[in-house]
Structure 1
């Protein structure tokens, strides 16, 4: 999380709203361990990674929705091995993320 703090602080100082997604659990294989974090500004700008690219686009969409609604939620992303292989993903497991808007 330390690696994204400068971006979060810059967005905060510029008056942007920010959502934070953190890996809280993985099942099977996963490229990032629990604690990995990704921040998304209301502009769509991203800092950090929760999956090494496997589901980042979907996480950005969730984060922007969270900024619109203000709700916190646990989101699960999973792939069967066949689905993961078919689209070239290296992470065939399931990741559970806790996503929330940051309040200043």
Structure 2
């Protein structure tokens, strides 16, 4: 991430909000706030809904450097943890809406 964004944007890896990941594996938020196996597409949609201007980049998560994955860079909304919590909550809402649409 370039210096011009420092303090204004946040790098988010899907594992940061994944309830199936441990803190040691990279989860940053409490289990009660986390989402099971979040997909990049869900995170991007949640960030869009929150007006956080998401940008997806191909990258390797440092703790699993051998796996090619993606990271999402978003505008910062409060602290990094608060931004992660808000995105996780929005992913949960997206999943609920999807479930309701499919149950009709």
TM-score band, normalised by shorter chain: under 0.3
Relative to its length, the structure with more strand (as a share) is 1
With normalisation by structure 1, the TM-score equals 0.27
Q: Which has the higher helix share?
A: 2
